[in-house]
Structure 1
Amino acid sequence: MTRTLLAVLAAALLGGASALALDVGDAAPAIQVKTWVANKPVTLEAAKGKVLVVEFWATWCQPCRRTIPHINKLHKKYGDKDVVFVGITEEDEATVKKYMETMAMDYHVGLDDAGKTNNAYMKGVAGIPHAFVVDRDGKVAWHGHPLTKMAQVIEELVAGKFDAARAKKLATLQQKLGEAARTRDQERLMEVVNEILREVPDDPDAYRLKRAILRDQGKLEETWPVLLDMAKGCAKDPEALIEVALTLSTGGDLEHRDLPKALELAKQAVALSDAKAVGVLAALARVHYELGHLALAADTAAKAAAAAEGEDKTRLEAHAAFYRKELERRRQDPDAK
């Protein structure tokens, strides 16, 4: 397997269940904390009827420095919508408090009681950060790396759109995928990927992995129908639609560029997200730019910037300014391209 294929495979497995971990659909174990160093104590019983997120982390964990701000943002967004965020570490109080002097943690943070919570949740999990999302009935809805699908699962649970049966089925299939990956047999891997696509046709990771396997096998022409299949299968997933749209509009393979289709998919994604998702609007702006719709590109990028914060806002404001500058340049020079 090439490094690219291994990276795609790792991403597909990173957001799903491992064969040894607490399984999707299982009752969540109790939270046993020795000391709470941030916010009030949280118990599984008190969280019943709410969505509970339990993340395992440590001060020495470099990837955790990226996930903590992400969880802070989710806490700010969902804190008043009956979603409770808990960070659990096995370290001592002095170490954690010193760490929090320079790393804000706005949610509940507790010190594990002799590793009891860690042992109950994390059996078989290779490393941290790792989070568990528990539904309102106290059952595990999802677990994996906090930067993968966690936000999507929380949003679906809050909106009452989470499909528990689908989640269980996908978790089981991802275990098979992990077993196939360990054999490094691409034919077996492709068999499992196709099984996932038959059983859960709206899983974007399966399409990404199938395209990566085909590329690895030198079957580049076969990757493009899979991309279009992804748009059909994931027709209600704005992020997947945007991924297809950007590939069709900005990909290096000019022969397979399809700007009208890209625009159709980008508009579809905007409609699904109620024209509020910053990334979706930014992608639509880029597709307009590729089509030469510079005024629309500038206006759409400006809308995205208005809805964004921090570095994203600055970046999108620069995009809008660039599109406006290009528009003016082309107005002044009829031969400009």
Structure 2
Amino acid sequence: MNRRQLLIICGISLIALLGGVFTSQWISQTGLASEPSVKAFFANPWQSPDGKTANTAQWRGKILVVNFWASWCPPCVEEMPALDQLQREYMQQNVVFVGIGIDSPSNIREFLEKTPVSYPILIGGLVGSSLSKQMGNTQGALPYTVIINSKGKSTFTKLGKINEEELRKAIKSAL
């Protein structure tokens, strides 16, 4: 391969990389979850890692920060301490964080033994992955965060690792 061919390949690769980054950022700004997908979230019979059915009805009328994650996803794991801290901070303001694990129940249980969090974690599996896509995550990548306001409307979505300031701002606009 000569130098010119190498430069062309590098140029095309750079364009593809930038296109992916900008597309991902655009999707995180515009891909709000539809009303049917929010209803599907509440209607699904979610299970906790210990096999108990979650009572999603108790979350109606509250601001929900729904985070789709997996134990094998480094950015998901990196953002969990911040999500845990923010859950504690916003608990008195009618804000509930919910983690939907796109992983096997045993992997989720094992992960939570080492990294406990103060917010509810639910087993998502294939249903969770499908719901994530219905809620605007067209790429199906993780982590993916959705904020649902107290009226049941999606107000924010983010594909990729979220930072605390960005999340605080999104929660504030949903309050």
Offset from partner CA, 1:89-134 (integer Å, 9 cap, x none) = 232222111111222222100112x532431332423300001100
Change (3 A) 1:11 1:30: closer
Preserved CA contact (<8 Å) 2:132 2:140: no
CA distance in 1 between counterparts of 2:103 and 2:24 reads 28
Among candidates 133, 137, 140, match of residue 122 of structure 1: 133
Unaligned runs of 5+ in 1: 159-337
Q: 1:47 aligns with which of 59, 69, 87?
A: 59
Q: Distance in 1 between matches of 2:170 and 2:122?
A: 23
Q: Write the deviation string for residues 27-52 of structure 1: whole angstroms up to 9, x where unpaired.
A: 51333244213898241x43221101
Does 1:147 pair with 2:169? Answer: no
Deviation at 1:66, TM superposition (A): 1.3
**Aligned-pair identity (%):** 21
Q: 1:42 to 1:133 in 2, by over 3 A?
A: farther
Q: Report what 1:92 is aligned to.
A: 104
Aligned residue runs from structure 1 range 229-308, under 5 A: none
Give the number of the structure with larger relative contact order, counting CA–CA contacts within 8 Å between residues 6 or more apart.
2
- The within-5 A match list for 1:203-218 is none
Amino acid across the alignment from 2:69: W
Q: Aligned in 2, Cα 1:120/1:130: closer, same or farther, shift over 3 Å?
A: same
Structure 2: how far apart are the matches of 1:122 and 1:14?
12
Whether the 8 Å CA contact 1:29–1:120 is kept in 2: the answer is no
Partner residue in 2 for 1:26: 35
Partner of 2:3: none
Per-residue deviation, 1:65: 1.4
Tell me the distance in 2 between the aligned counterparts of 1:17 and 1:41. Answer: 30
Over 3 Å counting, the alpha-carbon distance change for 1:117 and 1:98 in structure 2 is closer
Deviation for aligned residue 1:68: 0.7
* Residue among 110, 117, 136 paired with 1:105: 117
User: Aligned to 1:76, what secondary structure does the other structure show?
Assistant: helix
Q: 2:87–2:96: 8 Å Cα contact kept in structure 1?
A: yes
**Contact map agreement 1:56 1:88 (CA 8 A) in 2:** yes
| Cα pair distance change 1:150/1:40, threshold 3 Å | farther
Instruction: Measure, in 1, the Cα distance between the counterparts of 2:139 and 2:110.
Output: 27
- Which is richer in strand? 2
CA distance in structure 2 between the aligned counterparts of 1:77 and 1:141, rounded to whole angstroms: 20
**Higher-Rg member (1/2):** 1
Offset from partner CA, 1:211-262 (integer Å, 9 cap, x none)? xxxxxxxxxxxxxxxxxxxxxxxxxxxxxxxxxxxxxxxxxxxxxxxxxxxx
The alpha-carbon deviation at position 152 of structure 1 amounts to 1.0
Distance between the aligned counterparts of 2:49 and 2:151, measured in 1?
Answer: 27
Equivalent AA in structure 1 for residue 145 of structure 2: A
Query: Is the Cα–Cα contact under 8 Å of residues 33 and 117 in structure 1 kept in the other structure?
Result: no
Letter in 1 for 2:162: L
User: Partner letter of residue 153 of structure 1?
Assistant: A
The gaps in structure 2 that reach 5 residues or longer are 1-10
